[in-house]
Amino acid sequence: MVNPTTRERASVQELIAKAGNNKRKKVIEKIIPIILFLIAGVSVLTTIGIVATLIFETVTFFRQVSLLSFIFGTEWLPFSNKEPKFGILPLIVGTLKITLIAVVVAVPIGLAAAIYLSEYASDNARRVIKPVLEVLAGVPTIVYGFFALTFVTPVLQTIIPDLKIFNALSPGIVVGFMIIPMIASLSEDAMSAVPNAMREGALAMGATKFEVAMKVVLPAALSGILASVVLATSRAIGETMIVSLAGGSTPRFDADFTGSIQTMTAYIVQVSTGDAGYGTPIYYSIYAVGFTLFLFTLLMNFLASRITKRFREAY
């Protein structure tokens, strides 16, 4: 800092010339971008770390268990003393059951909420409802899991007497509620991005708000809406705590929604909470299951980005 009372006050021009000649400053300007680039590289290293870890340990797993029996096997009995079986299909079926229920619950409610918020709600209503939806999105999944186990399951049992304590229905519904805010807010973003001129054009032709929403806004925002559904599906596939608390731990290859199931994520948790020895097939199996899970979510995320790229309408 230059003291303004000093008699020999440097002019701005001199200050700039001085600053420009400072050698240390020049070095800093050269080094900083490199350091920042290295920091940015951490996220890339993370991805490489995830992929490398999963592949490396999965390969070790397939030295002990055959790949074909893993992909096509319909029995998942890793803890069997006589003859452990590692067929992934029951875990995939469990995951798909949860995902199916969640999507059936979340898509209609989430889309309806998005349409209401974007097309009907007054500014005041929106100002109240959006933060509450954000709270719903911020509730930790362990809390949802507890809610599924101690509230939703008993309530469902009064409606469906056959329902077991651990089942696919209850965690599926709760996972659905967990992903509603995601579908609602992403779809609402997509619908709000549709220019008002298009709505006004339709309204001027005599369309009702419902017709505007269905025939103008929805088609125009379709890519964003589809992407939100795909991303939410990916979240449902990867959801862990709700299904491990309320879904049970019975890997089954059937279409029953009322009995205990096991998802890929819940299996990883089950092995992690038990004490599977390091180096046993059970230990490596969580990486093989994790890799399968990773591929599923990667595929969904890839699909979502393709949808937004391909169908994006520019206004």
Write down the H helix ranges in 121-239: 123-138, 141-147, 153-159, 169-192, 196-204, 209-212, 218-220, 222-238
**Cβ(217)–Cβ(111) under 8 Å?**
no
Separation CA 239–CA 121 (nearest Å): 31
Where is 86: in which H helix or E strand? Answer: strand 85-86
What mask of x and - would describe binding to other proteins in positions 254 to 293, judged by CB under 8 A? -----------x--xx--xx------------xx--x--x
Nearer Cβ to other proteins (38/68): 38
Residues near 144 by Cβ (< 8 Å), separated by ≥ 6? 174, 175, 177, 178, 241, 242
Residues 6+ apart with CB under 8 A from 237: 95, 99, 293, 296, 297, 300
Q: Please report how close the Cβ of residue 291 comes to other proteins at its closest, in angstroms.
A: 9
How far out from the chain centre does Cα 313 lie?
A: 25
Residue 87 C-beta: closest distance to other proteins, Å: 21
Q: Does 40 bind other proteins (CB under 8 A)?
A: yes
Cβ 78 to other proteins shortest distance, Å:
16
Among 163, 169, 180, 191, indicate the residue that binds other proteins (CB under 8 A). Answer: 180
Gap between the Cα atoms of 81 and 225, Å rounded: 48
CA dihedral 200→201→202→205, nearest 10 degrees, is 110
Q: Is 179 in the site for other proteins (CB under 8 A)?
A: no
Number of residues that bind other proteins (CB under 8 A): 85
Residue 36 beta carbon to other proteins: minimum distance, rounded to whole angstroms:
4
Q: How far is the CB of 153 from other proteins (least distance, A)?
A: 12
10 contributes a contact to other proteins by CB under 8 A: no
43 interacts with other proteins by CB under 8 A: yes
Q: Which is nearer to other proteins, 170 or 265 (CB)?
A: 265
List, in order, residues 6 or more apart from 30 with CB less than 8 Å away. none
Using the rule CB under 8 A, give the single segment among 61-69, 83-91, 142-150, 196-204 that binds other proteins: 142-150
Closest approach, Cβ 133 to other proteins, in A, equals: 7
At its nearest, how many Å lie between other proteins and the CB of residue 17? 8
User: Is residue 5 classed as helix, strand or coil in its secondary structure?
Assistant: coil
Tell me which amino acid residue 154 is. P
Whether the CB-CB separation of 109 and 175 falls below 8 Å is answered with: no
* 80 versus 272: smaller Cβ distance to other proteins: 272
The verdict on 308 binding other proteins (CB under 8 A) reads: no
Near other proteins in 102-121, by CB under 8 A: 108-110, 112-113, 115-117, 120
Identify residues 186-245 at the interface with other proteins (CB under 8 A): 206, 208-211, 231, 234, 237-241, 245
CA diameter of the chain: 94
* 39 interacts with other proteins by CB under 8 A: yes
Q: Is 305 in the site for other proteins (CB under 8 A)?
A: yes
Residue 71, interface with other proteins (CB under 8 A)?
no
